[in-house]
A and B are shown apart, each in its own frame.
Chain A
Amino acid sequence: MNPYITNTPLEVEQMLSVIGVKDLDGLFADIKPAHRPRSFDLPQGLSEYEVVRRVTALSLKNNVRVVPFIGGGYYDHYIPTAVPSLTSRGEFYTAYTPYQPECAQGTLQALFEYQSSMCALTGMEVSNASLYDGGTALYEAMMMAIRITGRHKVIMDGGVSPIYRKILKTYTHHLSYQFEETPVVHGGSSRDEIFRLLDRKTAVIILQNPNFFGTIDDLTDIIERAHQAGALAIVSVYPISLGLLKTPAEMGADIVTGEGQSLGLPLNFGGPYLGFMCARKKYIRKMPGRIVGETVDSKGRRCFVNTLQAREQHIRREKATSNICTNVSLCALQAAIFMAVVGKNGLKAMAQQNLDKAEYAKQLLSKIKGVEVKRTSPTFNEFTVHLPKDASEVISAMMAKGFAAGFALGRYYPGMERYLLVAVTEKRTKEEIDRYVKALQEVLE
């Protein structure tokens, strides 16, 4: 089946005669018999209706009916309807990279607005037009810091997402960088250990706020010490938390990255997501990825273009700052529209509800016998709970009761099998939280 081919048999004849070949096979004469497929055994095509029925049935095999208290850096936030409604416009999603600025001002201006909103959120001076996801953005930031400092030692806080840390290791195992991972103490950064490792060889300290355990912190002192040693500091942040939290710019960060999924993107089983990267302006020429800049046209009118392209692979080839070719334009657009709809007041209100609901859940959970809510450090909307038994068992039992209870920390932290990471967003109602706590109580009895 292929209803999307429009040529009629008569037109095919006409076109073949213009080309001067007898039939469609004649167009492939350059492919010698020895190079033809040994097999091409694929299913027969289906009608649109049959495909819809089959794919819909598959979607129903995924359990999205459970009430989610699972986060780990990826959250179930509400997405105002206007957001997907606007990004569903074909003029946006069926366009390509704005190579011709005259017929792509829609995409270009929206990306400029995205960059501006990311600067508003993080307090940083510049933002690129997005990268693949939070993990790969952190890798790109680390490489950028190494390029800027010319040093090869990286100090990584243990509170940085274990998923991100695994990604960084994959990309750098062939390079002779010195990696130092510092332990987490009382849910937060180990300053003693970071300062012990910090020296004049250090390129960068990589931090995360809130960290993977949900702990929030003021990292200013660590960043100051990094700067004294001539090193840079990268902070990976959770955008919604910045409705309330001290910005990485206020803490002195040089490069800021993060996962932008919370800014109006669905969970989508892991993607497409939005990697963002902001930095001090003086580092912009060392930044990877597309950047949209403001300029004027031949008549002096304000307009927007892809700028500083001399950093990029299509010009610099093997000397480029990164091999990245695309950004995640549509996801950045989605985030820009989300930030515009929710706006200055909405973001703060949203962040406050996340905080309040998480604190409410903490209070109730700490009353369950045998459950210990880790309270040594303040948190935003996610926190760590110590259970009297294996968290994986508890999660399975809770699934049966209709809840995705959280993430089992033992998955990435050996020895933490009894720890559960619980996220509570603005979408969770009091009634859901109450039922969740009751269900957990029953499971633990």
Chain B
Amino acid sequence: MELIFEKSIAGRKGFDFGPSDVPTHAKIPANLARREDAPLPEVSELDVVRHYTRLSQKNFSIDTHFYPLGSCTMKYNPKFTEAMARLSGFTDLHPLLAQLAGGEQWTQGALQILYELEQWMCEMTGFTNFTLQPLAGAHGELTGIMLMAAYHKSKGNTKKKYVIIPDSAHGTNPASAAVAGYETISIPSNKDGGMDIEALKAAVNDETAGLMMTVPSTYGVFEGNISEISKIIHAVDGIMYYDGANLNAVLGRCRPGDVGFDVMHINTHKTFTTPHGGGGPGSGPVGVNEKLAPFLPISRVVKRKDGVYALDYDHPNSIGYIASFYGNFGLLVRAYAYLLMLGKQGLIDTTSHAVLNANYIMRKLEPYYKICFDRICMHESVFSAANQAERGVHAIDIAKFLIDQQIHPPTVYFPISVPEAIMIEPTETESKQTMDHFIAKMIEADELSKSNPGAFKDLPRTMPVSRPDEVKAARDIKTSFFTAASPTDAI
């Protein structure tokens, strides 16, 4: 399909701002003015509408396709939460209004939403305080690790050097720890998908700043030894970090704050179904217990004695500003509306059905694909296409097969510690019929891997493109319409 720039016709307009109604006509001094107009497209509004409508039709999405992308929690995004976030009382609200003297009086609705959401998150997770500021899950991780660092610094503990991370963790965990200034130590998993306690004990010492754990793990396994692990870490005054990427599997069934964790983040785009947007914006609120609360970022939202909600900047031990404002507010409104509707029982049911659906698919596919851990899984299950790979059909081939069946593939090749990994997360919003169809197609793929393994090579066949050349993309780099493809060397 043509690029919007290739549809450009000199002189065509898509939008008219109308004549200016002020008598002034000013001119930028020549030395400060751009030499040529920015070469943006010159297209009509209809050109733009058709172009982007057609582009949208090239996407698989939750609204159009089953999307069992493991670890991403692609559940239905209710339409009414979109409508709530688009109310002009929210969209037209300037963030700096709240920072003016007396600014809280003009932003009470927004501040109340932030305050109540924080309170609910505390109750759901067993923590004493939350900040809604982090702008994505990885941003929450970084914030949490910075809180860890601030804690050790406040105790004058300069020895802390390492953050321990299981090998099944998301790549963001070690990257976040590194950005915050820590080195990382990877711990292997045992045969049940849990943490290898002996390896952990061997790795922990006075230099251990903390442990980052995803519960349930990315294997879809609930770690039964949490209490023991937390004792080991706390014995050296380490901090227990809970990566909440998979909180949707345990909400209402276990609270991280009750079982030894000191800090966590929530991915609202997963657990609280704010839309993924084609890869963001995300939102990654961070919760802490009393130990870390003094260090939370500013501003913080408070409810004053007179019942007025306000922003509070007076926290001398705070790590400071981690983002420009108060979080991705538009997403927080969606999460707020979703939580208001579901309430306590709705949330518990959500967890139950997410886990029910995941286990149903796991047991149905077990005869055909190798399961990694033969036990009840949580919100997702991890398979290996090792058997199919022996026939020359790899996880990526099965993914491409599913695309031709109008199903978005599960996550493949993650967790990286599982060869030929296929990670399936159906979520609670999918019906048994949809899952049965998916199961049938997965079985078909297995059968085809036996009868005609070569058939996978050209897949997908029904899509506008098939098997892009990623090596070429990284070698002859072309990332803009205006710049020719060319290799660039690493500097």
Contacts and interface: CB of A to CB of B under 8 A. Distances in A.
A408 B477 contact: no
Interface stretch (A326-334, A365-373, A435-443): A326-334
Given A104-B278, A294-B479, 5 more contacts: A21-B376, A109-B3, A271-B330, A318-B178, A340-B40
Contacts of A5: 349-350, 353, 428-429
Contacts of A44: 343-345
B258 A38 contact: yes
Contacts of B490: 285
A234 interface: no
B477 A307 contact: yes
- Kindly state the interface size class of chain B when it binds its partner: 35 or more
A153 to B, nearest CB: 18
Query: Which of A290, A310, A352 has the most chain B CB atoms inside 10 A of its CB?
Result: A352
B42 interface: yes
B346 A2 contact: yes
Interface string A308-334: 111011111111101111111111010
Query: Which of B177, B278, B360, B464 has the most chain A CB atoms inside 10 A of its CB?
Result: B278
Contacts of B113: 55, 58
Given A70-B94, A170-B322, A329-B277, A378 B376 contact: no
A245 B82 contact: no
B35 interface: yes
Contacts of B202: none
B34 to A, nearest CB: 5
Nearest to A80: B15
B126 interface: yes
Interface stretch (A179-187, A198-206, A426-434): A426-434
A339 B92 contact: no
A42 B344 contact: yes
27 contacts: A35-B226, A55-B340, A58-B109, A63-B107, A64-B88, A76-B94, A95-B277, A116-B482, A120-B39, A130-B280, A136-B135, A136-B324, A163-B324, A268-B95, A292-B479, A294-B473, A295-B473, A299-B466, A317-B184, A318-B175, A318-B183, A326-B279, A339-B41, A341-B15, A343-B40, A344-B42, A353-B17
Given A40-B123, A94-B77, A310 B376 contact: no
B326 A269 contact: yes
Contacts of B203: none
B480 to A, nearest CB: 4
A51 interface: yes
Contacts of B409: 100
A360 B23 contact: yes
A107 interface: yes
B176 interface: yes
Contact of B324 (A34, A135, A292): A135
A124 to B, nearest CB: 9
Contacts, number: 711
A169 interface: yes
- Kindly state the interface size class of chain A when it binds its partner: 35 or more
B35 A250 contact: yes
A392 interface: yes
Nearest to B163: A318
Nearest to B177: A318
The 10 A-B pairs with the shortest beta carbon distances in the complex, nearest first, are A270-B325, A59-B89, A45-B343, A90-B63, A330-B277, A61-B109, A270-B95, A272-B281, A326-B280, A313-B175
Interface stretch (B97-105, B233-241, B441-449): B97-105
Contacts of A283: 491
A375 B360 CA distance: 71
Interface string B4-43: 1100100111111100111111101101111101111111
Interface in B367-411: 375-376, 378, 399-400, 403, 408-409, 411
Contacts of B72: 96-97
B67 interface: yes
A408 B101 contact: yes
A292 to B, nearest CB: 7
